[in-house]
Structure 1
């Protein structure tokens, strides 16, 4: 499964936390249907800061949004044109896989794969706009580097001898080199700025934290009391665990995860402290999120522990399932009218899709040239 490994390496970009934002378009085409679950003969996706924002594949040949703000901010004609663009690329890939297979004297007995990734990285400026940092445009064949574009010198670079004929052919097309360089430095950056702003505007509209207080029974005579706030934006937040009204500190052996990213640009934080089971003190969790005007303090009660200790003891319960049950249990104790939000519990470490895939807004000039 070298293809999956290569895809993941190609799609790895820079994160939001580094103040570098990235936009990637990734296309994958097989020489014939791969007969593997989750894979398609042709697929395409777009990644903004490693999060999938749209998707297309040959079994469901329609370009679709993968973020709410993409659906809300981009009109029907954008998706219709995008669908047609994907279909034309699918045909281009089919023709060029055939060319490369003949060039390398390969037959139809094996499945071969051609991949293309292109995009740009931008660095955040004081006015919140992005300045071009680097552009990427490269191809891989059967999981190995094949051809890439040197943006600085505006030439194609062959990674293997089989790519030399393509390099010579494309280098002779001056308009192709000029277009590729201009696209990466300008048009790609325009889309990156636009997508980044669309996503941030939605977050700024409504991203208050959800707050949970729970305890887990340990092997000794103590409980681990934890306060969790998740789903908030911006990242500036204050969290306190109090004992009889006094704010606990590191001197009380308070532990904190610090603010961590969720997979949709919101954040989470959790503070924990170990307490004796016999402790009858009043414990509470205070969360202040000035960006959304939230200032809430939730009290931990013994009755909560008796409900949740049973959940914590169940080793088959996943972390996300555990917290979902925590939420339901605590809501039963005190009715709330707040709007339910998606519960984010872990760092963004999972791949956006089980498929390998593709995308782009306009048909690139590459598709006017064969390999």
Structure 2
């Protein structure tokens, strides 16, 4: 379980485009207290469906999907996910042999999804990863697969030769995904097209520790956090945290700067948060920074800084294998500018 959680905690949640639809299938093997197979659907990075091999049923995660689809919708996707579970289980064993592995925790994951921008441009994704690393990705313009490592060449050649599989993926990328994305956006328009500005706080555990600029409660997820020193951009000793979803569907993110008390005293440091055309600038001064050692702080800073970890663990319990594949980097679009993607209704050939 620890191995999987580390991958999840290291996952980067992609900053959403105009509108996006993605599915993540994750198979896991090894001695862990974790479902062998999970499937998660997201619209604009908000989870709207969830399935795992323990419960063997697909459940809605938003009111807008719950209210707009009938029982046969859930029966259909549950049947698909249930059928995919044994395939992923066998695939992991195949890949363990290919990588000369006999024990340990291993994961096999698929991601497919599409984005639709206001100007009508589309992007699509169809990729697989093994143990948190890229494995193969699909190019719908050539109906071929790109191998990310030598062990994936066998898979590439087998899947390149399966023209029916390639044509199916292409059709889904170009048509079905976009159609469902538009349908889902119409279902959840009030939620998915809302705009909520971030609340920004400056946090510090002690007078000698780094200072965190914490932006939370914003929607959509696209946000920029930067630091300035005496009116100039400052990038030294700055660490940007992961974008994390809150329980209410909004997002939070933290950027941390390491600065000595003397530097803070002799310079003007500011955290600048930009979201949906609005800029919020907070200057690092003692009266602005919430700390553990400040008796005037209404909430202990340890609780505030711990909130992000707590929220992510809640997300982990609900999303399970969501984005294990993004251990080291985010998904990149397939080599096409006019495609969509995403499927919860297909069966892959063996790798």
Q: Does 1:62 align with 2:62?
A: no
Q: Which has the higher contact order (CA 8 A, sep 6+)?
A: 2
Q: Please identify the structure whose Cα radius of gyration is greater.
A: 1
Contact 1:47–1:53 at 8 Å: present in 2 too?
Answer: yes
Match of 1:196 in 2: 185
Contact 2:29–2:89 at 8 Å: present in 1 too?
Answer: yes
Contact 2:127–2:138 at 8 Å: present in 1 too?
Answer: yes
Match of 1:122 in 2: 116
TM-score with structure 1 setting the length? 0.55
Q: Does 1:90 align with 2:79?
A: no
- SS of the aligned residue for 1:165 comes to helix
- SS of the aligned residue for 2:321 comes to coil
Cα pair distance change 1:132/1:95, threshold 3 Å: farther
Name the count of aligned residue pairs. 240
Contact 1:11–1:24 at 8 Å: present in 2 too?
Answer: no
Shift of 1:12: 3.1
1:315 alignment partner, one of 281, 292, 300? 300
What do residues 82-118 of structure 1 show as CA deviations (whole Å, max 9, x unaligned)? 11111111011011111112223321x2121111111
Contact 2:3–2:105 at 8 Å: present in 1 too?
Answer: no
Aligned counterparts, 1:1-371, within 5 A? 12-15=13-16, 20-35=18-33, 39-107=34-102, 109-125=103-119, 131-201=120-190, 313-315=298-300, 353-354=315-316, 355-357=320-322, 362-366=344-348, 369-371=349-351
What do residues 309-341 of structure 1 show as CA deviations (whole Å, max 9, x unaligned)? x99645379569xxxxxxxxxxxxxxxxxxxxx
Cα pair distance change 1:350/1:155, threshold 3 Å: same
Q: Aligned equivalents of 1:314 and 1:165: distance in 2?
A: 56
Shift of 1:6: 5.8
- SS of the aligned residue for 1:195 comes to helix
State the Cα RMSD in Å: 3.8
Cα pair distance change 1:54/1:311, threshold 3 Å: farther
4+ residue runs over 6 A deviation: 8-11, 230-233
Q: Aligned equivalents of 2:184 and 2:162: distance in 1?
A: 31
List runs of 5+ in structure 2 lacking aligned partners.
197-216, 221-244, 252-294, 324-341
Q: Aligned equivalents of 1:194 and 1:352: distance in 2?
A: 28
Shift of 1:58: 1.6
Q: Aligned equivalents of 2:314 and 2:174: distance in 1?
A: 26
Shift of 1:187: 0.6
